[in-house]
Amino acid sequence: MTKNKKTIKLYASDSVIEDFYSALVEGNSRALRKVHIPKSDVFYVREAIFQRTGNKYTLDHVERAMYLEGHLTRNEVLDPDRRRPYGD
């Protein structure tokens, strides 16, 4: 007997914390499973970049850059093989 596995498509969002808590409050387990929560390092690096440059990048952009620079592994990022419009 085999289990029928459905894949859940995660999505990148800059309001990840709000999405996470909203899904919790609503009791929406499906929405909760779809939320991709980056490592805390991504949030810290994004804020440090903003404080130093005034540029606010998306979480996905910072996560991707950290991955490409070797600071994150494949299993720590959302869709590591997907091309991004801001370049690779």
Q: What is the pTM of this model?
A: 0.78
- Number of Cβ within 10 Å of residue 34's Cβ equals 15
> Could you tell me the CA-to-CA distances from 2 to 5, 7 in Å, in that order?
9, 15
Distance CA 56, CA 68 (A): 19
Residue pair 20/35 in contact (Cβ under 8 Å)? The answer is yes
> Could you tell me the CA-to-CA distances from 42 to 2, 4, 65, 69, 83 in Å, in that order?
38, 34, 10, 13, 19
Distance CA 42, CA 23 (A): 22
Q: What is the pLDDT along the chain (88 residues), one digit of tens a residue?
A: 455 555 556 667 888 889 899 999 999 999 888 888 999 999 999 999 999 999 999 999 999 999 999 999 999 999 999 888 876 6
